[in-house]
Structure 1
Amino acid sequence: MNTHLLSKLQATAKPFAKFAASPNARPFSKSLVRFQSTATTADVKSTSTFIKNSHPTAPLSSFNYNLSRILGRKFNNFKKLTEILKVIEEIKAQNLKFDRNTYTALLTAYASTNRSKDVMTTLEKMEEQGIQPTLETYNLILQSYASEGSSIAQAGIVAEMEKKGIDMSESSYNSLIRALTKREELEHAFDIMDKMKENNIPMNIASYSNVIGICVRVSDSKTAFSLLKEALDKCLSVSSDPTMLFNVLCLAARKDEHEAVSFCWKKAVLENAMRPDEGICLDVIRVAGLSGDVKLATEVLQHLGENGYTYKEYYFAPLMEAFMNKGDLKSAFSVLDIMRASGITPSAQATLPIRNHLRNQIDKIDEAYFILEQLKKEDKSVDVTAFNVVLEACADAKDVERTVATYREAASLGVTPNVDTYNAVLIACINTRMRDMGKLVIVEMKKAGITPNTDTYTHMISLECTSREYENAFNYLEEMKSYGAIPPQMAYVALLRRLAQEADPRYLVAAEEMETFGYKVPYAIQQNWLKAKEQ
């Protein structure tokens, strides 16, 4: 409700309210009763008439005061209308004429429940009584319709204002925009904005926020960002509506628009000390990684730490990716040291950005190895995860010689191999079908006291299935289960693919076991089995 009009309503009713609440109110009523007990009937009537005629506005003022109180309550608009209409009936019962405040309250109640016909009828009655609606009256109606998104009803009010020659104000236009927001009519909202500019009427921050809200809902990130900058150029207090900043930030992040993300992050977090949640931070740092914006990625990590979030491995992958996109592999390796300093043990998953950068590019793989050597010469520790990602890249390139040669340099680099180190070499052996080399790696792994994990067993099963003799694949599968581990789907896929090729009757047993673990046998393998069986 229009707070200015509400205050006027209440101000009109204040004399009556003050009198009703004053300490003299009760004594006066009691003295009146005592007076009536001793006076004649004529005297009482005379006194009553005197009081009534001496305070002609008091009865209507009291009703208007009640109307203003009802409109100010927090229950729903339909209940408010019911209560308003009850008071209106009481006014009519006393044959009191409505004044501007009475009509304003009634119009507000009708408009807030989207009863446009009743609004127009009430306006006609108001004019018939000689009370002309003011700009404030119309604004109040437009504002009430805005809450319901009733832009069609608003159009009728605007037409009425034009007919009366009443120019629309900032409040009028803002109410129109607010209604369009609920209907997501972006183009129509732009038309309203253009009219405001033509008439030199400024938009407030709420209207900008409403139009930006439409842009967000229709995924128009570029327009949303443009409107945000326009609001800032006009020196509007964007910090008073953090939702607007966060909405543009989130939408731009989803669209991978680095400029808007960086701008909104700076305004929201660095300049206005706002605190985006973890979800927004992860979207922002992902964009930073894709764009090679190391500074932004670092700021997001710092923000997460300062606001009590426990660092997780996946927080750091975008920072590593940002370094990779800038071509700074050495700094990307240094992220592993930062992770360990933060209490996180990096896994192979953490180095995926580096692995993807090196994939199938021998010159870059060699460059990565030389960086590890350089770190060693600088008396810096070489992280085993950094060493492993170079091995994995060699394996991806199906270069078993380079893989093994790199593997043999672990000691010279000061690296103690872990289970991922051996798994990387096994992948190279699988890719090149070098079963004997794989067996040697397994022996060395056992000598080093490294316990195989499910990936290791899956690799060993896959390696066995590359040779003519694949009996050991069953042994590795049973050994894995004996440790209480559920074999991964890929372990069964590798085994079933080999059994299908050979039309091995054990295929049926393995397929049934695979399904008991909730895995589905790939259709292509089923078809290969049927064809091999027919032959």
Structure 2
Amino acid sequence: MNRLILTRISTAATQPLKLKSKQWALRNANSMRFASTEASNGEAVLEQAMANANVTKRNIIKQSHPAVPLATFHSRLDYQIRHKGAPKKFLENVLNIVKEIKQHNLTLDQTTYYAILTAYARNRDQEGVMRTLKEMKQNGLTPSVDNYNLVLETLANMGHVKQQNILKEEMKQNGVPLTTSSYFHLLRGMCKQDELEYALDTLEEMKKMNVQANLSCYATIISASLRLSDATTAFSVLKEAENAGLPVQSQPRLYLDAMRVGANNDSEEIVNYCWDKAIGTYSMRPDEGTLLNVLRVAAKTGNTKLATDTIRQLSTSGYPYKEHYFTPLMEAFIVKGDLKSAFNVLDIMRVSGVSPTLRATLPIRKQLDKDVDAIDKAYYILEELKKENKAVDISAFNVVVAACADAKDIERTVATYREAHALGVKPNVDTYNLVLEACIHTRMKGMGNVVIDEMKKAEITPNLDTYAKMMELSCTQKNYEDAFVYLEEMKSYDIVPPEHCYVRLAQKLAYEQDPRFHMVLEEMETFGYKVTPRIRALYGKSK
């Protein structure tokens, strides 16, 4: 009895507690705005609340494990990097993908930032690169070596060496080892700013750090050396690359560049070595300017083989033979003391389709300059060639006559001129003009008249130089009226007399106080020649 009463009391007490428990669950789930006091209605509401709670739980799980993984975005970014499109479009695509990543509440990682840095780097957007790097560090990420290298590359393009060094120290502090690519970008920045010594120190640093320099590192320094005309450094770095076992043959232009800077610095050793590699081994084809520079070095050092090879290469490269190609070869023989071979170059020129002029023989003329013994020796070489049944080139003969005229030795000049027939040479207009030059030096107008008469007999037509020399020869005489005759004769052929003819005549008229001085100056101005105050001041001065 007592037990029955207690049971009823206990049941009555627990029912309100169960109902309150259900009502609490309903309120906690926020699915109902009211609670039923009836047990049956409360159970139905409780089931609904539990269902809603399960939906919320699934949503939480879904956010923790997104439907689109970050790897999918990485794949898209990788495609953009590999796809070589327009830089601006590439940057736009990358930033759009990054925007999607953020919309999915995903965290940017090293791979994502690498794509962003690459996009900015391709656009040469230094501000964007530096901003991205700063964002990485603010988000607690230590940039990888690849990301640092992208920044170093961008700074190298701008030549910002100071900022590169700051970044280099930061890499060391963060324990990020510098790679070959890192050093390559550092070297590019230094060489862009012409800091060649700094670049060489960095190359040594690579060795100490056991970082192997690749061919691009060496090529960068060689190019800077070329720009700075430092032949010694260019050659030294090139040899170092060879000794390191690098595939220099894959970039034969390095030899060509080193040869160019070597030629600029008159280094026969560098030019010879690089010529054998660039042209001899790899069949490179230098431009005409480089070949002419090599010819200059060959002439200066007496390297006749190099000069010959260079002339041959000019032809191989498609450049038609020209007179000034052969002059260095002539100079090279003269440096070696082989005057006979220098004369033979004139024959080579003719065989090659080039007719030598007086300009071509200037190296020989300079060698014989006012040295009578050397002049006689040169003449004996012509006789020797004749005895060997070799043709004596008229240019070779003329240069000996020119040397006699330069020595102001009229007797030797005329004597040599008279030997033309014996040497099997037919004098040309240059020959006669050279004898006239000797007449001017010695003021022998009579001999000059003889030369003119012999020209007419030989049916040699006088040229502008002939008239100019006869004018000048007339101005050496007390009676200089013939100077006006030759002046008018030139004009009769519709030839504008050279400026130096007017200057020489004006000087003579001023000296003689001849009032025709003013007429000559007016005529000079008519032909467009400038009359200087110095020339005007000549008249009026006493003899």
TM range (shorter): 0.7 to 0.9
Shift of 1:489: 1.9
Q: 2:327 maps to what in 1?
A: 317
Q: Of residues 76, 92, 114 in structure 1, which corresponds to 2:126?
A: 114
Pair 1:249-2:259 in alignment: yes
Aligned amino acid, residue 85 of structure 2: R
Identity of aligned residues (%): 49
Q: 2:158 maps to what in 1?
A: 148
Shift of 1:368: 0.2
Q: 1:287 maps to what in 2?
A: 297
Q: Of residues 363, 372, 381 in structure 1, which corresponds to 2:391?
A: 381
Q: 1:447 maps to what in 2?
A: 457
Give me the whole-angstrom Cα distance separating, in 1, the residues matched to 2:263 and 2:81: 46
Give me the whole-angstrom Cα distance separating, in 2, the residues matched to 1:105 and 1:147: 19
Q: Of residues 333, 347, 370 in structure 2, which corresponds to 1:337?
A: 347
Q: 1:213 maps to what in 2?
A: 223
Moved over 4 A (4+): 52-55, 79-83
Q: 2:430 maps to what in 1?
A: 420
TM (norm. structure 1) is: 0.84
Matched residue SS, 1:529: coil
Name whichever of 490-499 and 249-258 sits farther off.
249-258
Matched residue SS, 1:531: coil
Q: 2:472 maps to what in 1?
A: 462
Give me the whole-angstrom Cα distance separating, in 1, the residues matched to 2:175 and 2:392: 80
Q: 1:25 maps to what in 2?
A: none
**CA 1:113 to 1:519, structure 2 compared with 1: closer, same or farther past 3 Å?**
same
Point out where structure 2 has 5 or more consecutive residues left out of the alignment: 1-54
Give me the whole-angstrom Cα distance separating, in 1, the residues matched to 2:528 and 2:268: 42
Shift of 1:132: 4.5
Residue correspondence of structure 1 range 63-462 to structure 2 within 5 A: 63-65=76-78, 67-68=80-81, 72-75=84-87, 80-110=90-120, 112-115=124-127, 117-126=130-139, 128=140, 132-462=142-472
Shift of 1:487: 1.6
Q: Report if aligned partners of 1:107, 1:122 keep a CA contact under 8 Å in 2.
A: no
**CA 1:86 to 1:149, structure 2 compared with 1: closer, same or farther past 3 Å?**
farther
Number of residue equivalences: 481
Cα distance per residue 1:431-466 (max 9 Å; x no partner) = 011110111001101110001111111111100000
Give me the whole-angstrom Cα distance separating, in 2, the residues matched to 1:241 and 1:499: 67
Give me the whole-angstrom Cα distance separating, in 1, the residues matched to 2:532 and 2:365: 28
Give me the whole-angstrom Cα distance separating, in 2, the residues matched to 1:484 and 1:509: 19
Name whichever of 476-485 and 225-234 sits farther off.
225-234
Give me the whole-angstrom Cα distance separating, in 2, the residues matched to 1:522 and 1:320: 40
Give me the whole-angstrom Cα distance separating, in 2, the residues matched to 1:189 and 1:380: 59
Q: Report if aligned partners of 1:114, 1:150 keep a CA contact under 8 Å in 2.
A: no
**CA 1:448 to 1:283, structure 2 compared with 1: closer, same or farther past 3 Å?**
same
Name whichever of 106-115 and 374-383 sits farther off.
106-115
**CA 1:154 to 1:312, structure 2 compared with 1: closer, same or farther past 3 Å?**
same
Q: 1:28 maps to what in 2?
A: none
Cα distance per residue 1:136-195 (max 9 Å; x no partner) = 332333233323323233223212211122221222111110111211111221221121
Give me the whole-angstrom Cα distance separating, in 2, the residues matched to 1:97 and 1:338: 78
Give me the whole-angstrom Cα distance separating, in 2, the residues matched to 1:58 and 1:211: 41
Shift of 1:118: 1.1
Give me the whole-angstrom Cα distance separating, in 2, the residues matched to 1:361 and 1:272: 46
Q: Of the two structures, which has the highest relative contact order with CA contacts closer than 8 Å and spacing of 6 or more? A: 1
Q: Report if aligned partners of 2:78, 2:115 keep a CA contact under 8 Å in 1.
A: no
Give me the whole-angstrom Cα distance separating, in 1, the residues matched to 2:519 and 2:389: 55
Shift of 1:231: 2.0
Give me the whole-angstrom Cα distance separating, in 2, the residues matched to 1:258 and 1:58: 60
Q: 1:12 maps to what in 2?
A: none
Matched residue SS, 1:528: coil
Pair 1:61-2:71 in alignment: no
Q: Report if aligned partners of 1:205, 1:231 keep a CA contact under 8 Å in 2.
A: yes
Q: 1:519 maps to what in 2?
A: 529
Flag the structure with larger Rg: 2
Shift of 1:243: 4.2
Give me the whole-angstrom Cα distance separating, in 1, the residues matched to 2:242 and 2:467: 59
Q: Report if aligned partners of 2:303, 2:332 keep a CA contact under 8 Å in 1.
A: yes
Q: Report if aligned partners of 1:67, 1:87 keep a CA contact under 8 Å in 2.
A: no
Q: Report if aligned partners of 1:500, 1:525 keep a CA contact under 8 Å in 2.
A: no
Give me the whole-angstrom Cα distance separating, in 1, the residues matched to 2:74 and 2:265: 57
Q: Please report the RMSD computed on the Cα atoms of aligned residues, expressed in angstroms.
A: 2.4
Cα distance per residue 1:281-307 (max 9 Å; x no partner) = 111111111111100000001111122
Give me the whole-angstrom Cα distance separating, in 2, the residues matched to 1:306 and 1:217: 28
Cα distance per residue 1:247-295 (max 9 Å; x no partner) = 3322222232222222222221111110001111111111111111100
Q: Report if aligned partners of 1:110, 1:118 keep a CA contact under 8 Å in 2.
A: no
Aligned amino acid, residue 234 of structure 1: A
Matched residue SS, 1:452: coil
Residue correspondence of structure 1 range 9-24 to structure 2 within 5 A: none
**CA 1:378 to 1:142, structure 2 compared with 1: closer, same or farther past 3 Å?**
same
Give me the whole-angstrom Cα distance separating, in 1, the residues matched to 2:245 and 2:528: 60
Aligned amino acid, residue 506 of structure 1: R
